[in-house]
Copies of this chain bind each other. A is one copy, B any other.
Amino acid sequence: MKGVLSGIRVIDLTRVLAGPFCTMQLGELGAEIVKIETPKGGDDARHIGPFIDGRSGYFMSINRGKKSVALDLKAAADRAHFERLLETADVLVENYRGGTMEKLGYGWDVLHARYPRLIYCAISGFGHTGPYASRPAYDMIVQAMGGVMSVTGYAGEAPARVGVSIGDLAAGLYGASAIQGALFHRERTGETQKLDISMLDCQVTLLENAIAQTHVRGQPPGPIGARHPAIAPFGMFRARDGYLAIAAGNDGLFATLAKTLGLDALLADARFATNPARMEHVDALTEAMNAALAAADRVHWFAKLEAAGIPCGPINDVADVMADPQIAARNMIVHIDDEAGPFPTPGNPIKSSIFPDAPTRPAAPALDEHRREILGD
């Protein structure tokens, strides 16, 4: 892979998802990712399904193209290997709980003094400061504690977890972003830094409008089903043969939508004259739209709505996504060269005018596969 990070070496102590997703992104941008795994079974993700021929598809996807070296950071000989590696590194990433690196003797003070060119990114459940700093976490915990679950799902039902691991993924995204900013800063000034990324902090940044609503209304929002908290119409509606998504984010789009659905009468109705008015009367608006949409199947409405320039689309399952022509045209399902055959995985969404976007990816490493290449003899 060639990209903006070509020539950058990342030493990667991360396990499971938040950290590995961060370093996967750096790899997609051209960085060399040297994954350091515990000799006892390696990354926990190697033991999480689904499995193909006994190997984890979960691990394969997130660790494609990385190099693996098994090192025990509590053993002297392996520590010496690790320290020689750090001399060659631009970036060190880990996602232990807070305090672990200090116990290993690799806190930032030590690292910075010995490796002044090294950028260090720590991703942890709660960050390295504050009363929860040393607590462990996984995705589920920060989704629950960060408020995202409280607004996901339907009122009167149990809270729902976001069906993907947004607790891990958001932290991985911020980590990759922060590391690139730190590389830019080092290039401009020579200065390096420690980046302390908390999964819980990252969840808070996703709350955006929910914090404003809690402040203004004096009480937190509840789950909102398949609607937007502040825009209407903006949600899931029902045609004769099933659900579809429609979003009209301003008055002009709403006027066009009403005409397209044969609901011109709504435009003379003060309840629907502005977005705040539509939010106040969102149930009546939804009812009127569903009554109109029930007259025909989705394919009919997609054709009409698209012709009118109204944002709309189907509620796709993951198989639909993998078969979608736009996803194919964008090379967003790439295939890993795996011994069990081509294995599909999400592509790189950063499409650059100067770097090619390969349709395949190299395989994820076997545990300790690159020992000789990385450590020498």
Residues of B within 8 A of A147 (CB): 316-318, 320-321
Q: Is A205 an interface residue (CB 8 A)?
A: yes
A346 B164 Cβ-Cβ under 8 A: no
Taken residue by residue from 124 to 165, chain A's Cβ proximity to chain B (1 for < 8 Å, 0 otherwise) reads as: 011101111001111111111111111111100111111111
Interface 9-residue window, one of A68-76, A243-251, A289-297: A243-251
Residues of B within 8 A of A196 (CB): 351-353
Query: Which of A49, A150, A224 is most buried by chain B, counting CB atoms within 10 A of its CB?
Result: A49
Q: Given A138-B234, A152-B152, do A131 and B314 touch, yes or no (CB 8 Å)? A: no
Interface SS of A by simple majority = mixed
A313 to chain B, nearest CB (A): 4
Q: Is A350 an interface residue (CB 8 A)?
A: yes
Q: Is A363 an interface residue (CB 8 A)?
A: no
- State the copy count for this chain: 2
A139 B247 Cβ-Cβ under 8 A: yes
Q: Given A177-B173, A216-B51, do A224 and B349 touch, yes or no (CB 8 Å)? A: no
A327 to chain B, nearest CB (A): 6
Taken residue by residue from 30 to 63, chain A's Cβ proximity to chain B (1 for < 8 Å, 0 otherwise) reads as: 0000000000000010011111100001101110
A271 to chain B, nearest CB (A): 16
A159-B226, A195-B352, A215-B343 given. 16 additional CB < 8 A pairs?
A21-B208, A25-B177, A50-B217, A57-B215, A130-B325, A139-B247, A141-B313, A145-B314, A146-B316, A148-B162, A150-B318, A183-B184, A195-B353, A197-B350, A204-B327, A213-B318
Which A residues from 302 to 358 make CB contacts under 8 A with B? 306, 309-322, 324-330, 332-333, 343-347, 349-355
Interface 9-residue window, one of A80-88, A185-193, A261-269, A368-376: A185-193
Residues of B within 8 A of A246 (CB): 140
Residues of B within 8 A of A165 (CB): 208-209, 228
A216 B50 Cβ-Cβ under 8 A: yes
Q: Is A212 an interface residue (CB 8 A)?
A: yes
Residues of B within 8 A of A328 (CB): 130
C-alpha gap A191/B3 in the complex (Å): 12
Residues of B within 8 A of A48 (CB): 230-231, 275
Residues of B within 8 A of A207 (CB): 164, 318, 321, 346
Residues of B within 8 A of A145 (CB): 245, 313-316, 321, 324
Count, chain A residues at interface, CB 8 A: 160
Residues of B within 8 A of A324 (CB): 145
A246 to chain B, nearest CB (A): 8
| Minimal Cβ-Cβ distance residue in B for A162 | B162
Q: Given A130-B325, A279-B49, A316-B144, do A158 and B154 touch, yes or no (CB 8 Å)? A: yes
- Which single member of B173, B181, B228 contacts A174 (CB below 8 Å)? B173
C-alpha gap A47/B211 in the complex (Å): 17
| Minimal Cβ-Cβ distance residue in B for A143 | B245
| Minimal Cβ-Cβ distance residue in B for A58 | B209
C-alpha gap A153/B315 in the complex (Å): 13
- Which single member of B16, B311, B345 contacts A136 (CB below 8 Å)? B311
